[in-house]
Every structure is written in structure tokens, then in C-alpha cells.
Amino acid sequence: MLRNARHEKILELIEAKEIETQEELCADLAANNFSVTQATVSRDIKDLHLFKIKGTKKRFRYAAVTENIGGLSEKMRSLFQACVEEIRPVGNLIVIKTLNGNGSNAGVVIDRLDYREVVGTVSGDDTVLIICETPADAHAVCEKLHSVLQAN
């Protein structure tokens, strides 16, 4: 029960203000009568699938993914559309170029899509490498990702 209440408070806090570090989140939770350690907050971040995006007041801030029936939330779709610059198949691989600092964000979206053709992904600062079984699988995934880019 306490864990669920804490998770709800974390989501409320990151929606209301920009929180850049686990330490800031610990302090804000303490101010709201939740006694937590940094290790607990780290687990909560993982459990809630929080990720960092560019902030307006701070360099980065935590953001949450809200799943919907279609698989991707509107936030995730918008994030992917905003950060991806190029998607290119190379044999059984796909190279995705992103804005600087957004490779991991694009990688999270791709992992959430859970395409059966994708064997694995590797994310860097401004690049995501997708590994597929065959070149045909890579082309199919490219088409799906292009449709995500063009979806409204």
C-alpha cells in the first residue's frame, strides 16, 4: 500500500515540477511525508519506467510513460517524433539517428513497441542500433517505425 501511494506521489511530483536527480526526488518525497532512501527511489524509477527528457528550467527532468490500449502513449509517440532524425536499414540492422542526448529515449520507445522482428537494441547518445534476424525483418520494422513518425 505504501509503495503504491509513493508511486502515485512520484508521478504527481514529476508532472508538477521538473525533477532532475534522484536526490531531488528523495527531498520532495520527504517534504510530502515519505521517508525513502536513494536506493528505494532508484527502484521506484525503474518500476515506473521513468526516463529523462530535456527540461525547460533544468537540463533534464524525469518523465513518465502512460500506456494506452494502442501500445504507445501520446507522450511516447511525441517523444519519438521529436527526437528521431533518420531511420535507415542496413542489412539485418536498422540505424536510427536522433538529436543529441536522445538515443536512449528513442530506444525506450522501440523497446516498448515490442516488435517480434526485433532481436535487440543498443542505444547511444544520438544513435539507436536495432538488430533483426533478417534484412526483410529490418525493412518491415523500418516501415512500422516510419508510420509511428507520421502518426498524429
pLDDT computed for residue 69 by the predictor:
32
Distances (CA, A) of 107 to 11, 122, 124: 22, 7, 9
Range of the domain at 93: 74-150
The enclosing domain of 59 has a CATH number of 1.10.10.10
Whether 59 and 79 share a structural domain: no
In a domain, 68, yes or no: no
Distances (CA, A) of 144 to 57, 58, 80, 87, 114: 34, 33, 13, 11, 12
Q: Which three cell numbers stand for residue 25?
A: 526526488
List, run by run, the mean pLDDT of 10-residue segments along the chain (152 residues).
88 91 96 94 88 80 60 79 95 97 92 90 96 94 89 66
Starting from the edge strand earliest in sequence, which strands make up the sheet with 118-123, in order? 84-90, 93-98, 127-132, 118-123
Mind giving me the DSSP string for 6-23?
A: HHHHHHHHHHHS---SHH
For the whole model, what pTM was predicted? 0.57
Whether 134 and 87 share a structural domain: yes
Whether 58 and 106 share a structural domain: no
Whether 43 and 101 share a structural domain: no
